[in-house]
Amino acid sequence: MIPRLGVNIDHVATIRNARGVAYPDPVRAAQMAVAAGADGITAHLREDRRHISDADIARLRQEISVPLNLEIAATEEMLAIALAAKPHAACIVPEKREERTTEGGLDAAGQHNHLAHYVRALQENGSRVSLFIEADRTQIDAAKALGAPVIELHTGAYAEHFFAGDMEQAELVLQQIREGARYGASLGLEIHAGHGLTFDSVKPVAVIEQIRELNIGHFLVSEAIFGGISSVVQQMKDLIAQARAEGVS
């Protein structure tokens, strides 16, 4: 079975927010991603709203035709938003205010009592809950004990080693991800993976048999610049030349 691709459109909103204007619109990017074959759309509503906004979530719920996977921290504010939005899936992620991205997995083992309430409430509300954890047996056991049907294995460390060219370390982490995927699936959990994946680093993860879904964002948004910059520059040049040819004032 080919893993589904969830496209994370957070960083379209990062670019929008850098200017405080309405574009680029992450919902439009989501619709284009769906048209190109994305199986789902993922968005992380951060406490500080640095990229995706509450209004984006409302629009994504209304305007996209594939499942929405809403990533949230385990806080009462986020729970209330997720309960109201009723996304297809809710992925609980650790969130530190000062971090640049989600660093490391959730401590499902150490935070069992805190997380139990969130997992239950989201599940009862009809969202399929996943926990974003490291590929570690203690964490996988804890996710199972919490009753989450899905775990998303953090591929960030693998991707970082890969990008740095440290293939030995990348392979070590990859081996943990393979074992974690096998172990989690043996417990009846659905296995997802993501974070930091690129064209170069995706294949060794995508080939892991138990993985049902990959969530990828930053690289796709980044690479989309290179897919699109030639045509938009040409279009702007044409418009400038046309203005002179037509003599409009």
Residue numbers at the binding site for ligand PXP (CB under 6 A): 8, 10, 44, 71, 91, 93, 102, 132, 152, 194-197, 215-219
Q: Measured at the alpha carbon of residue 160, what is the angle toward residues 196 and 69, in degrees to the nearest 5?
A: 20
Task: Identify which of residues 93 and 109 has a Cβ nearer to ligand PXP in the complex.
Answer: 93
Closest C-alpha among 49, 53, 33 to residue 41: 33
Q: Is 195 a catalytic residue?
A: yes
How near is the Cβ of 154 to ligand PXP at its closest, in Å?
7
Alpha carbon of 104 to those of 23, 77, 101, 177, 240: distances in Å?
A: 31, 22, 9, 13, 48
How near is the Cβ of 130 to ligand PXP at its closest, in Å?
8
How near is the Cβ of 71 to ligand PXP at its closest, in Å?
5
How near is the Cβ of 70 to ligand PXP at its closest, in Å?
11
* Placement of tokens 């969830």 in the chain: 6
Region class of 86: left (phi > 0), else alpha (psi between -120 and 50), else beta: left
Cα separation, 145 vs 93, in Å, equals 17
Determine which one of 11, 154, 192, 195 is catalytic: 195
How near is the Cβ of 85 to ligand PXP at its closest, in Å?
17
Task: Identify which of residues 48 and 246 has a Cβ nearer to ligand PXP in the complex.
Answer: 48
Q: Is 117 a catalytic residue?
A: no
Closest C-alpha among 136, 135, 138 to residue 192: 135
Task: Identify which of residues 24 and 194 has a Cβ nearer to ligand PXP in the complex.
Answer: 194
Q: Is 44 a catalytic residue?
A: yes
Determine which one of 11, 44, 161, 192 is catalytic: 44
Task: Identify which of residues 27 and 90 has a Cβ nearer to ligand PXP in the complex.
Answer: 90
Q: Are 201 and 158 in contact (CB under 8 A)?
A: yes
The secondary structure element, H or E, covering residue 133 is strand 128-133
Determine phi and psi for 171, rounding to 5 degrees: -65, -40
Helix or strand or coil: residue 86?
Answer: coil
Determine which one of 51, 71, 134, 161 is catalytic: 71
Task: Identify which of residues 186 and 222 has a Cβ nearer to ligand PXP in the complex.
Answer: 222
Q: Are 42 and 6 in contact (CB under 8 A)?
A: yes
Active site residues: 44, 71, 195
